[in-house]
Amino acid sequence: MGRRALITGITGQDGAYLARFLLDKGYEVYGTFRRLSTPNLWRLEALGIFDQVKLIPVELIDSASITEALLASRPHEVYHLAAQSFVGASFEQPVGTGEVSGLAVARLLECIRHVAPETRFYQASTSELYGNNPQIPCNEHSTFMPASPYAAAKLYGYWITRIYREAYGLYAVNGILFNHESPLRGLEFVTRKITNALAKIKLGLEKKLTLGNLDAARDWGYAEDYVRSMWMMLQQEAPDDYVIATGESHTVREFLEAACEVAGLDPQQIVEVDPRFMRPLDVQRLEGDSTKARQKLGWRPTVGFKELVQIMMEADLQRWQRWQKGEKFPWDALNYPSEMTIITRSMKS
């Protein structure tokens, strides 16, 4: 009988790519999702795997539903990817972010300890743990300096994973993944916000792109490369924590300019900076050192920065061109509200 995996947050960017990766390896894949009035399943449909995964409704604030998911799937491996993962929103919803991105990790680990102690557990940690640490690049031994409610919640998740590993002998690992993008990235993230807006501008559907901090720098990789590392971590003899990164950082301005080059646009003519999109506290630069993962896992990125931008820019151009032709296909942009119409506390102050 083949191996079984349970992916929390299977409807997100990483969850969808990981599901396809595991299906290709012969896994039986289960995934948790939240029951909403309109289920967010477009990524699974876009990858052509919607009918190959088994979906289980779960609320991360409800231990009973987590236990039911474990009993239904009987997984050999659990990949915990579900979270409130948008840094900006964590300032607007700090308590909710703590519940979903932090305490939920403890609930899940406690359920695993009681009903599936042999299961191998992957915790999706984040480069945001490092905050504005001046020692760059950051590795597994660098000091954590969280600079957002999201990062603080994830820091709890990181440490509770290590505590359950050391206290109860669970096979539990932290993947400290730096930013990773793709055409399946959510529109609330700046990379996809840029490529989606530029595609609309190129096709005459919009005139301007409004951004916040153009000087923030991130270590951007390709999501499909990064989900491969998650699986590799759970195949090792002993559990450990790993940084996954490309080892180079680029500013939002550089991403914008590279995307404009692909689209044939002049950023000077179409981009505006609006202080409403500045975070109360921002991380200026993140860059990772994945030497340990390269040496112990054999992991390496296959897609560079310029190629990543091109993949995303061309994908959004093709989507809007298909939409103009009247095609119907799995996609998120048509249902996403303009950020200029969303009122937040920072905008009202």
Q: Report how far residue 253's alpha carbon sits from residue 262's, in angstroms, rounded to the nearest whole number.
A: 14
Of the residues 17, 79, 122, 128, which is catalytic? 128
Token pair 């190629």 is found at 307
Token pair of 4, please? 């079984």
DSSP conformation letters of 270-327:
HEEE-GGGS-SS---B--B--HHIIIII-------HHHHHHHHHHHHHHHHHHHHTT-
Residue 327 burial class via C-beta count within 10 angstroms: exposed 0-12, middle 13-18, buried 19 and up:
exposed
Catalytic (active site) residue 27: no
Q: Which of 67, 97, 126, 195 is catalytic?
A: 126
The CA–CA distances, whole Å, from 36 to 39, 40, 57, 245 equal: 5, 8, 10, 33
Which parts of the chain fold into alpha helices (H)? 13-24, 42-46, 63-73, 87-92, 94-97, 104-115, 149-168, 190-202, 223-233, 252-263, 267-270, 291-292, 305-324, 345-348
Which residue among 150, 164, 222, 242 is the active-site one?
150
Strand 250-251 versus strand 217-218 pairing type = antiparallel
Q: Say whether 126 is catalytic.
A: yes
Distance of alpha carbon 40 from alpha carbon 199, whole angstroms = 23
Active site residue 143: no
Catalytic residues: 126, 128, 150
